Chain A
Amino acid sequence: MISEADLLLIEQYLEGTLTEDQINQIDERMNKDPEFATHLALVKEMPSAILTDTGTFRNQMHRIMEEDGIKSPHKTASIKRIAPRFILLAVAAILAGIVLAVNIFLPVKKVDLYGMNFSIPNENLTTRDNSILDANLQKAVQAYSNHNFQSAIPLFQKYLQSNESNSEVRFFLAISLMAEGKFEDALANLGDLSNHTGPYQNASLWYSALASIKLNEKNLAQSLLTKLVEKENSYTPKAKELLEELSN
């Protein structure tokens, strides 16, 4: 596992901001330490690997070859063996099913907006000295970090029984509830945090708005987002975008 210090050193090496002595030390280390050399090579290639879109190029090439009657490469061979007519019928049936289900059960735009904007924030309770964390809370934090929200929820709740005013724990309980699809419970926990000035106020307004979207409470979501837009904070750009999308 690469350390933060090594990653920083490698980045500086690649940026060319190290002294000659430091560069020599790195070159020497690369010769002696194959793991370090591997890490350096990966960090070097990472930007171009991530930013180069070979998928689009590959698909384009595939289409050009197919237009010319060239058989599909092996990677798509299993699809090729199925009769094209059957594929068309199957695709049409699946699409019809999806459209029907979406129209009956879900307001398309709202579900997409929630999905596009909801992400699990990293807990920051662990940045504190663990010795001052309650044992239950430690377990809850661990479960949350592992995205095991089902276990985290009762542990957070137990901790809050005797520490009702702890806004941090309440916030992460609310996120866990959202991750488990319990949006009304999440809103109830976020409510107080959104209404009172504190470090979690803006985040709570944002997640309350997302939970409201999920619950089809468009007006409530709009009013929460408007608050975020009016008070200029790190959520403002996202809130502006979401407000625009909601009004379309």
Chain B
Amino acid sequence: MYKEKDLIEGIQRCDKEVMRYTYREYYPMILDLIQKNGGTAEDAADIFQEGMVVLYEKVNQGAVEWQSTLKTFLYAVCRNKWLMELRKKKNRKTNILEDNVHLADDTSIQKDIISQEKNELMRKHFKKLGDDCQKILKLFFEATSMKDIGNIMGFSEGYAKKKKFNCQQKLISAVTNDPIFKELNNYDKRG
């Protein structure tokens, strides 16, 4: 039995035992939710795994103020993800889920999901950048000074700064031109 704080810290550091515990404790409720709302066990596994990734990103954002317990957060994320999935399939009949659960902060949960999907998109395009760009941006976000980045990469400080800007510009442009990003933005505006 873990305390809430231990669960959050365990997930943050990708602790296998904590992840296994979370899965054994909470997966059955997600399976039940999805199966009662037109999904299969395979859908439930998919949604649970994606829900856990949203949770992982959330706990890694640092000073997060939890409005709910980890269990209710995970449930709300999976519930919203499944709703989004159903909307994608245009299955309007199931837009209201049969779970008799009142979730106070659906909008903020949806924002967390959209934010996680945008980050996933950013990672996808980051991996498509050249090796130099990936290295410079990683070093920069790890708080390495531009002078040190220049030394590591064999560039002058001025050139390293220029290169870093070009890499950020390329990444922003790739993300904003991705049709999925536009779709996510529309979803975000609709709420």
A contact set with B: CB distance below 8 Å? 1-2, 4, 7, 38-39, 42-43, 45-52, 54, 56-58, 60-62, 64-65, 68, 70-75, 77, 119-120, 122, 124, 202-203, 206, 234-235, 237-238
Contact = CB atoms under 8 A, between A and B. Distances in A.
Contacts of A71: 41-42, 45
B138 A43 contact: no
Contacts of A68: 23-24
A54 B172 contact: no
Contacts, number: 124
A50 B46 contact: no
Nearest to A8: B165
Interface in B9-60: 14, 16, 19-20, 23-24, 27, 41-43, 45-46, 48-49, 52-53, 56-57, 60
Interface string B100-126: 000000000000000100111011001
Nearest to A71: B42
Q: Report the 9 A-B pairs with minimum CB-CB distance, sorted nearest first.
A: A49-B119, A73-B46, A47-B141, A49-B122, A234-B154, A57-B56, A64-B20, A74-B46, A70-B45
A74 B85 CA distance: 13
B168 A65 contact: no
B168 A7 contact: yes
Given A50-B126, A50-B138, A54-B53, A45 B173 contact: no
Contact of A64 (B16, B150, B163, B172): B16
Given A2-B172, A4-B165, A60-B14, A45 B154 contact: no
Dominant SS at the B interface? helix
B85 to A, nearest CB: 10
B86 interface: no
Nearest to A238: B154
B45 A72 contact: yes
Interface string B145-164: 00000111011100100010
A44 B132 CA distance: 22
Contacts of B137: 46, 50
Contacts of B155: 234
Given A2-B172, A38-B185, A62 B141 contact: no
Contacts of B78: none
A71 B41 CA distance: 8
A112 to B, nearest CB: 14
Given A39-B172, A73-B49, A54 B19 contact: no
